[in-house]
């Protein structure tokens, strides 16, 4: 497999692309001009799990973008050179690598020019260059591929697609995207190098969208009182840009605070906001979110060997503050050792449901998975912590997820788990109180430390808290 190296100006950060980029954009938007100090930015799109660090660690910096949703730029902490970005539309799944930081930048000229409507007048595009006033529609293109397959390419007369391997589907979709962008004259070697990647762009690194789309209305209100100034990290906005959930519209309003500073969530998924509160504090969040996810189907899914896990997934094997996975290894081996992969996770969730009682008010901010295991009672975060610890003890990566949940009674912020099986994240609700097809992720992370909807560095009085989720389509 071809590999391509790059790095920052000072050499402290070096990276490697373990496959060719999918496509190269030349962006002429005003934001890119401001950020680069040049007439445009040239970005190579590639799956994030195909970008590996070989030296140093870049810093994530949240900055504005033309869409208004912001982007996370990964910069060297010494020379401050931008290496790649993550945009809200694709989430953490896709990296937009700055072509100029590749050692062989000349090998990757632009395939397409975007935001050409704001191109500087003295920039001349090459004859025949593909250009779009704003952006091209990847999802419409995917629909064209599916419709073409149903018209007979699969060889059948029914409405279902003929069975194909994942690699075949990715290759066909990759070629169709590049044909759309560059036409039949595309360089064949570059087309072949990039084939097989675009379907995973739409599936967010393995999070599949295989259900029936529905729209959910979310409303949340947090009413608190602060007797003294306190820093607050608020995380109640839904994650956007995932294949199985996308924000149609949303609005966060906070009163009684100083300036607000948004920062990326863990893995650059979602957004958290710093603020300082004093006196009356009122935060309201409303959103319409489209969810496209079927019921959880874990049976038969395989667990990857540890050495085959993507770099971003490996940390979810480790014990954490609330999930002491190392303390459960003997129990998990004895209780679930005869099962594999998704079947093992199902058995773990069923064990928790049978042995732990859901009782409000029986745990607090210090309660860990080990405490819940002993006490055999808790709330959603305790169930999530225990399942996360069990899975990690079995060598299955697991991360905690805060979520809005349809049909949760009584309505509240909810905590569930995602496990890494068959090359992707899969949602599991250990409480069994909410269908996974009606969950809207807010944050992901190691445990409650990372996914708390409101972290207060000080003291506050809760006056009122309300969460409502309803289906509107």
And the tokens for 180? 């759309």
Residue 24 has pLDDT above 60, yes or no: yes
Instruction: Average the pLDDT over 311-336 and give the result.
Output: 96
pLDDT in tens, 301-311: 999 999 989 88
Residue 207 lies in a domain: no
Please check whether residues 323 and 420 belong to one and the same domain: yes
Q: Is residue 387 part of a domain?
A: yes
- Domain assignment of residue 132, yes or no: no
Closest CA to 38 of 98, 128, 127: 98
Mean pLDDT for 241-261 is: 87
Cβ count within 10 A of residue 2: 8
Last residue of a domain, one of 86, 118, 150: 118
Confidence of residue 211 (pLDDT cuts 50, 70, 90): low
Report the percentage of the chain scoring pLDDT > 90: 57
The whole-angstrom separation of Cα 372 and Cα 384 is 10
pLDDT at res. 183: 44
pLDDT at 46 over 60: yes
- Count how many Cα atoms sit within 13 Å of the Cα of residue 218 in the half-sphere of its side chain: 35
Average pLDDT on 133-137 reads: 74
364 in a structural domain: yes
Domain that holds residue 403: 306-452
> Are the CB atoms for 222 and 283 separated by under 8 Å?
yes
In terms of Cβ atoms closer than 10 Å to its own Cβ (0-12, 13-18, 19+), residue 339 is middle
The model carries a pTM of 0.63
Whether the CB-CB separation of 54 and 18 falls below 8 Å is answered with no
pLDDT by residue (tens digit) across 179-202?
444 443 334 444 444 433 333 233
Whether residue 111 is found in the same domain as residue 72: yes
Structural domain includes residue 188: yes
Structure confidence by residue, pLDDT tens digits, 362-393: 999 999 999 999 999 999 999 999 999 999 99
One domain for residues 109 and 53: yes
The pLDDT mean for the chain works out to: 83
Instruction: Check whether residue 51 and residue 111 sit in a common domain.
Output: yes
CATH number reported for the structural domain that contains residue 262 in this entry: 2.60.40.2250
pLDDT score of 161 = 30
Domain end call among 118, 151, 183: 118
> How do the residues of the chain divide into helix, strand and coil, expressed in percent and rounded to 5?
30, 35, 40
Do residues 66 and 56 touch, judged by C-beta distance below 8 A?
no
Same domain, 161 and 251: no
Give pLDDT, residue 71.
Answer: 76
> Does residue 128 lie within any of the structural domains?
no
Residue closest to 463 by CA, chosen among 286, 280, 285:
280
Q: Is residue 297 part of a domain?
A: no
Judge if 190 and 224 occupy the same domain. no
107 and 21 in a common domain = yes
Same domain, 432 and 347: yes
* 86 — pLDDT class (breaks 50, 70, 90): confident
* Residue 376 and residue 431 share a domain: yes
Would the pLDDT of 204 be above 70? no
Here the CATH number for the domain that contains residue 60 is 2.170.150.70
pLDDT(321) > 90: yes
Closest CA to 398 of 325, 452, 340: 325
402: which strand partners? Answer: 415, 443
| Half-sphere exposure at residue 158, Cβ-oriented, CA atoms within 13 angstroms | 4
Is the same domain home to 87 and 161?
no
Both 350 and 283 in a single domain?
no
Say whether both 96 and 186 belong to one domain: no
Distance of alpha carbon 166 from alpha carbon 170, whole angstroms: 6
Q: Count of domains in the chain? A: 4
Flag whether 247 is in a domain: yes
């Amino acid at each position: 497999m071809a590999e391509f190296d790059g790095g920052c100006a000072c050499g402290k950060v070096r990276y490697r692309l373990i496959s060719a980029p999918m496509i190269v954009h030349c962006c002429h938007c005003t934001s890119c001009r401001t950020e680069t100090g040049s007439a445009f930015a040239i970005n190579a799109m590639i799956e994030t799990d195909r970008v590996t660090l070989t030296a140093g660690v870049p810093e994530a910096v949240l900055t504005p973008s033309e869409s208004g949703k912001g982007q996370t730029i990964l910069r060297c902490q010494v020379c401050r050179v931008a290496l790649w970005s993550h945009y809200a539309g694709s989430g953490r799944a896709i990296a937009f690598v700055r072509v100029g930081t590749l050692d062989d930048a000349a090998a990757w000229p632009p395939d397409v020019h975007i935001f050409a409507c704001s191109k500087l007048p003295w920039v001349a595009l090459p004859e025949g260059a593909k250009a779009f006033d704003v952006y091209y529609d990847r999802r419409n293109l995917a629909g064209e591929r599916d419709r073409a397959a149903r018209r007979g390419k699969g060889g059948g007369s029914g409405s279902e697609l003929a069975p194909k391997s994942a690699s075949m589907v990715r290759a066909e979709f990759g070629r169709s995207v590049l044909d759309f962008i560059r036409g039949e004259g595309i360089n064949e070697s570059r087309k072949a190098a990039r084939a097989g990647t675009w379907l995973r762009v739409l599936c967010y690194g393995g999070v599949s969208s295989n259900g029936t789309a529905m729209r959910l209305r979310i409303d949340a209100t947090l009413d608190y009182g602060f007797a003294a100034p306190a820093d607050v990290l608020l995380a109640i906005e839904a994650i956007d840009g995932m294949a199985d959930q996308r924000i149609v519209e949303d609005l966060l309003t906070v009163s009684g605070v100083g300036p607000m500073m948004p920062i990326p969530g863990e893995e650059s998924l979602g957004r958290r906001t710093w603020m300082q509160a004093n006196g009356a504090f009122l935060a309201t969040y409303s959103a319409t979110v489209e969810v496209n996810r079927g019921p959880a189907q874990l049976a038969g899914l395989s667990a990857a060997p540890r050495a085959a896990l993507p770099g971003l997934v490996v940390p979810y094997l480790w014990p954490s503050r609330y999930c002491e996975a190392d303390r459960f290894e003997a129990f998990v081996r004895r209780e679930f050792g005869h099962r594999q992969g998704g079947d093992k996770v199902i058995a773990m969730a069923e064990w928790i449901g049978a042995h732990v009682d859901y009782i409000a008010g029986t745990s607090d901010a210090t309660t860990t998975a080990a405490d819940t295991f002993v006490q055999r009672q808790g709330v959603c975060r305790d169930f999530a912590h225990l399942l996360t610890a069990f899975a990690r003890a079995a060598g299955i990566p697991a991360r905690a997820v805060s979520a809005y949940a349809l049909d949760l009674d009584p309505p509240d912020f909810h905590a569930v788990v995602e496990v890494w099986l068959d090359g992707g994240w899969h949602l599991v609700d250990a409480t069994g109180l909410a269908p996974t097809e009606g969950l809207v992720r807010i944050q992901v992370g190691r445990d409650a430390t990372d996914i708390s909807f409101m972290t207060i560095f000080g003291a506050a009085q809760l006056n009122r808290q309300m969460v409502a989720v309803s289906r509107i389509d």
